[in-house]
Amino acid sequence: MDSILVGISSCLLGNLVRYDGAHKYHSYIERTLGQYFQFRAFCPEVEAGLGVPRPAVQLRDIGSHIRVVGVKDHSLDVTEALRETAEKQSPWLDGLCGYILKKDSPSCGMERVKVYKNDIPARSGVGVFADYLQQRFPTLPIEEEGRLGDPGLRENFIQRVFVRHRWRQMCQSPLTAHGLMRFHSRHKLIAMSHEQNRARELGRLIAEVRADNLDEIAQRYITELMACLKIVATRGNHVNVLQHIQGYLKRTIDSDDKQELVDTIESYRQGNVPLIVPLTLLRHHFRKQPDAFVDESFYMTPHPAELSLLNEI
């Protein structure tokens, strides 16, 4: 597998870049995800020249404008320095397949960062660098390290990273209408598990592709696909997809095997078993009775099995 380049807040890899000279090392990111991702560590505050150690900063609502100022000395305003630093990173940020940010940071926090007004905090802010990432690269999978503890959010983020990686691999060769349609065919079931109306819209969009609108359709497609995948897949949508896949076996397995599949999918619907259980049973049947569409689809193998991401959802 080609290297999957993922940006990350430098402190999460154990680098001593925090305002107090410490780090926020995250073992799961480095030891588990690091087996599949090549991390590009970055600290916007250090890159902006604020130094280590440095005065702690916070987001403050000053005259209806959010500024990044010193916690103790409000006259220390580093807002523009952080914005300029963020904008200078565009060349390498454009090559990423994902980004993991440090939660609660006035530079890197993705959401619910404390914003102070009259010394009263409200969790309504976004870090300056994180805001730049989200605005400048809307299709880039972005997540905070704290949210990776949630099995659904963790699987959602990592799945999106692998989808973006496969998209970038496809785009390394001259793009063709056939290649775009095949990419959609292989990701159609994944999209259905996230949001079925959006998945249908993606299908209609692909049906419009022609030689003279290929680039336009491709850009619209990846933008809408990544927006669809950002919606966390639900158990109900997974059940619909599992039943859809089961339909490809209706003429090739006997009544006992069909009932076992029905019971297993129902057990998943009720929350008694994780998603990996019905998927494993389906894989078993398709190994014996291959189907071209199902075999090509990434739905049953969206990421390396060693990550065990389907065992908890």
What are the domain boundaries of the chain? Answer: 4-149, 150-313
pTM reported for the whole predicted model: 0.96
Ramachandran angles phi, psi of 58, nearest 5°: -150, 165
Per-residue pLDDT of 183-211, as tens digits, reads 999 999 999 999 999 999 999 999 999 99
The pLDDT value given to residue 64: 82
Predicted confidence band at 3 (pLDDT cuts at 50, 70, 90)?
confident
Kind of pairing, strands 98-101 and 4-9? parallel
Question: Cα 194 to chain center, whole Å?
Answer: 13
- pLDDT tens track for 246-304: 999 988 899 999 999 999 999 999 999 999 999 999 999 999 999 999 999 999 999 99
**Burial degree of 141 (CB within 10 A; 0-12, 13-18, 19+):** buried
Write the Ramachandran bin of 231: left for phi over 0, alpha for psi from -120 to 50, otherwise beta: beta
User: Which residues pair with residue 160 across a beta bridge?
Assistant: none
- pLDDT, position 2: 72
Instruction: Measure the CA angle with vertex 169, ends 165 and 172; round to 5°.
Output: 140
Helix or strand holding residue 26 (H, E)? none
SS3 123: strand
Contacts 24+ apart (CB under 8 A), 124-128: 125/59, 125/66, 127/59, 127/101, 128/44, 128/68, 128/79, 128/82, 128/83, 128/86
